[in-house]
Amino acid sequence: MTTPIDPREVTAEAVIDALEQLMFLAGEWRPDAQREPEPKTLWASITMKGKAGFGHFAVVAPEPLARKMASGVLGVGPEAVSESQIFDTVRELVNTACGTLARHLGEEAGYSLGLPEAGYGAPPPKGAVMANEVLDVDGEQLVVLVEAV
C-alpha cells in the first residue's frame, strides 16, 4: 500500500534540498508559521506543464536572504554580489526545486518547465493557491507558493 504524499511537505522539501545543494544553506519547514511582512522582497517563479495540467511555482525572499543565497552559490561575500546575480540565484532556486518536484511526481506525469521569471515585491497571482509554505532559512522567512493554473 502506498503512503499518500503531502503536497505541502513535498514542495517544502524540494526547496530545502535545492537550498542545501546549491547555496549551502539549511532550511526548515514551518507548516504552521504565519507569514511576516518584509520591507523589501524578491520573487522568482516558474510554470510547470504536465498531463495533470498547469502549475505555477514561486518563492519570495527578503532581499538580505536572497543576497546570502547568491553569496553561497558564488562563493563570495554578500557585499560582492550584484543585483543581477541575486535575481539569477533566486531563478535558479525555483528551477532546481521545481525540477526536483517534477522528478518526485514521476516521469509518467510528463512535467516540463518554463523559463523562470523574477522581480521585486510579490509574484503576480496566476491561479488558485495550492500551497503557501513558510521555510525558516538562517532565521529569515522564505515563502513558497504553488498555484494551479
Residue 1: pLDDT over 60: no
- Quote the CA–CA distance of 127 and 135 in Å, as a whole number: 22
> Which amino acid would we find at residue 17?
D
- Quote the CA–CA distance of 22 and 66 in Å, as a whole number: 13
DSSP H/E element including 55: strand 53-62
Cα distances from 100 to residues 15, 28, 64, 92, 105, in angstroms, run 8, 17, 25, 12, 9
Nearest to 91 by CA among 135, 46, 141: 46
pLDDT in tens, 23-55: 889 999 988 887 777 779 999 999 888 776 668
Cα distances from 147 to residues 9, 23, 104, 131, in angstroms, run 15, 25, 17, 7
Residue 106: pLDDT over 70: no
35 against 90, higher pLDDT: 90
Domains of the chain and any CATH numbers: 7-31+42-148 (3.40.1550.10)
Owner of C-alpha cell 514542495: 11
Model confidence, pTM:
0.86
Which pLDDT score is estimated for 128?
87
Instruction: Average the pLDDT over 57-86 and give the result.
Output: 95
Which residues have C-beta within 8 Å of that of residue 88, sequence separation ≥ 6?
Answer: 70
